[in-house]
Every structure is written in structure tokens, then in C-alpha cells.
Amino acid sequence: MMATDFNIEFSERLKALPPYLFVEIDKAKRAAKAAGRDIIDLGVGDPDLPTPQHIIDALNKAAQSPANHHYAFDAGLPQLRTDIAQWFNKRFGVSLDPDSEIYPLVGSKEGLAHLPLGIINPGEKVILTDPAYPAYRASINFAGGKIINLPLKESHDFVPDLKRVEQIKDAKFMYVNYPNNPTSATATKEFYQELVAIARAKGIILISDMAYSEIYFDGIKPPSILEVEGAKDIAIEFHSFSKTYNMTGWRIGWACGNRTLIAALAKVKSNFDSGIFQAIQLAAIAALKTDPRDLDDLRNLYQERRDCLINGLRSIGWKIPPPKAAFYVWAKIPKSFNDSMETAKAFLEKTDIVATPGVGFGEAGEGYIRMTITVPKDRIALAVERLRKVL
């Protein structure tokens, strides 16, 4: 009996999504490396430094115990939630209930993607800052939300114009991400106070992504939205171990804030996954106890790299303001190029440098390019010399 050819197609929601930006960049990078080229990767923000040894040791010890080889609790180990609450209180001065206001995640990206399924219905409006981390847009589309783009402009320091937020009617929720990816902009507590007041008055849920909360420069610590009085009434915040402790591949983070939003996220996740490998949770507990001096050293290293790239690019005529946080440099494309895709393509083809085109983060990202500082200073210096030839 002959097999029948089936015409299998993606779902309409999947067809509506553009190719995931970082997957496409990785394909181009792999192809160039396969051709034997010496690629300097300033594309994806993945720390090049190893996970601290005490965290690895905690994982090794925990992985040896059969007690950690079973399904994990959906809500995570009570000790992990308690230690997160203590860390949060020490860092931001905010008290959280470990049982109802904290929920561990298989990486903050996973939680950010799942939450819209639990809080919006098809057709409801969602305010999305533009440019933005691409996963936000995909999660809204999967949940059937209607996106209202809110441009982030350099003239407004890449923070939302709250007067425009006040003019949007019937929005269900809004994303905020500071320190920001891709612009590296930061937000003040005063900004959050005004935003929370508007959101409470208009009934808008606020989703704050603070994956880069501990990567900041010049000693200026980014605030949490939960520091604002009344924020817990309408806000949930996402944190990650990835950038702070060089644990991107470990996939662990947490959500905290409004208990109803936490419960909605928990219900979605209980139907989709079975929790975080318990040994990784125990390693995360060790991470939270990292010596603060080690984190100071990490920030100092990134700041040295930032200055190396910024000063190097200025020396060849490309003047870029230094980022205040995160490990990205968000720069207007040089005048010799027409758009961000052309710029990124030329960088790869002519200088063997991978950078991210701004348009990949949204229409408002056109005219910019993003470069990371997750490579050693000697490679950054080499990148500058290569760019000197084309700029």
C-alpha cells in the first residue's frame, strides 16, 4: 500500500511569526565559522565567563542525590523561594511572601512567554514598547492579543512617553524592561511611580522584565517597580540567574509580585511543564549566596569592556553614548549605510563581526545596531580595528 503525501502546514499563529532573530543570526555565524573565518560575536548577549565554581559544586553535589531525580514541585523548593525573598528584600527593600508572591521559572523567558496565556483573551490590547526583546511580541501573538506599539525614542531616553500611555484606551497590560534590551536604557523610581499611578487608574497590568538588574555601571543600581507603593496591586516582575551569575544555559529565574498574576502564571505552567530540575534549584540557592565582591568584579569587568568599545569606536569617528546598564551598546548606524540589516550584513561579510540589526527588535529599532560586550577586551579591540577599515 502506497503512502499518501500529506500537505502539513504550520498553524496560522506560527505563520504570523517572523523568523526568531537570534536563531537567524546564529545560522549566519555558524556558516561563517564553518568557512574557517575568525568571527567576533557581538550578536547574542550570552556571557563568555564561566559559571562561578561554588554554583557548579552545588549542582554536582545535588545531582548525586537520588532525592533530586524525581519530578520537582511546580512552585519550586520552599528554601529557594525563601532565599529569593531574602535576596529581594536586601537588594530592593521590598518584602515578598515566598508562598504566594514568588514563583521559580525555567528561565525568565519561559515565564514571560507563558503569562499572557493566563491573563488575556483573544483580541484584547497589549501595549508593547518598540524596540523590544522579540519574545514579548511572539507571546502576545500566541495568546491572541492585539499589539499597540509604543515607540521608545532616543530623544526621550528610550523610556515610554507616559502621556501616550494615558491616551490608549482599554489596554489589558503593558511590558516594561529596564535595564532595557536592546537599548541598555535605565528607568528611575520616579518614572515607575508615575507609570504605576497611570496603570492603577486605567486598570493596566504591568509586566516588568528585570533580567539585567545586576548588570549596571558607575555604581548606579536600577530600581525595581515593586519598590513603588501600590505596585503589587497591578505588577509582576521577572528576574533571571542567567546574566547575574553567568548561568544562561542552566535555565532558571523567577517571577514575583501580584499574587493573582503569580497564580495565573502557576496555573498555566502546571499544565505545560513539571518544574525545574531540583539540583539546579539547589545550585540557584548557592548562587544567591555569592560573595557581593564577586559581582562587583563582574560589573567592573563589563564596565572596562564597555569603555574599551565606546572609546575605540569614538577614535574612528563613531560617537556612541556609553550604556548605563546591561551589556549592550545600542548605536545609530554609520551614515555610510542605509539601514540596520545592510549594516549587520556588511559587518559580517567585510569584518567578520556579528552584530544585531535594530529592526529585528521592532520597527522603531530601524536605524540602530546592537553590539554586546560579552567578549574579552582584546577581541573588542580587534573588532574596532576591523571596523576602522569599513568606517
Provide the pLDDT for residue 153. 97
Average pLDDT over the chain reads 95
Tell me the longest C-alpha to C-alpha distance in the chain.
72
Task: Determine the CATH number of domain 17-46+293-390.
Answer: 3.90.1150.10
Which has the closest alpha carbon to 329: 378, 292, 382, 384? 384
How far is the C-alpha of 152 from the C-alpha of 166, rounded, in Å? 16
Position 28 scores a pLDDT of 79
* Angle in degrees, 0-180, between the axes of helices 340-351 and 377-390, rounded to the nearest 10: 110
Q: Which position has the higher pLDDT, 235 or 33?
A: 235
Cis peptide before 182 (omega within 30 of 0): yes
pLDDT band at 1; cut points 50, 70, 90: low
**Above 80 in pLDDT, residue 22?**
no
What is the predicted pLDDT for the residue at 391? 84
Percent of the chain's residues with pLDDT above 90 = 89
| Inter-residue contact 313 to 320 (CB < 8 Å) | yes
- Residue-level pLDDT at 330: 98
pLDDT, position 30: 85
DSSP string, 39-52: -EE-SS----SPPP
pLDDT at residue 294, rounded to an integer: 97
| SS3 state of residue 106 | coil
Per-residue pLDDT at 184 = 98
Judged by average pLDDT, the poorest of 72-76, 123-127, 130-134, 318-322 is: 72-76
For range 189-196, the mean pLDDT: 98
Output phi, psi for 254, to 5 deg.
-160, 160
Q: How many CA atoms lie within 13 A of 227 on its CB side?
A: 19
Q: Which residues lie across from 128 on neighbouring strands?
A: 149
DSSP annotation of 19: P
pLDDT at 116: 98
pLDDT computed for residue 16 by the predictor = 81
Q: Is the pLDDT of residue 4 over 70?
A: no
Q: Do 85 and 96 touch, CB atoms closer than 8 A?
A: yes
Which segments within 5-134 are labelled E, that is strand?
40-41, 102-105, 125-130
Where are the chain's structural domains?
17-46+293-390, 53-288
Query: Are the C-beta atoms of residues 96 and 256 closer than 8 Å to each other?
Result: yes
- How many Cβ atoms are within 10 Å of 293's Cβ, its own excluded? 8
pLDDT in tens, 264-319: 999 999 999 999 999 999 999 999 999 999 999 999 999 999 999 999 999 999 99
Region 60-87: what's the mean pLDDT? Answer: 95
CA distance 44 to 339: 20
Distance in angstroms (rounded) separating the CA atoms of residues 67 and 288: 22
Fold of 53-288: Aspartate Aminotransferase; domain 2 (3.40.640)
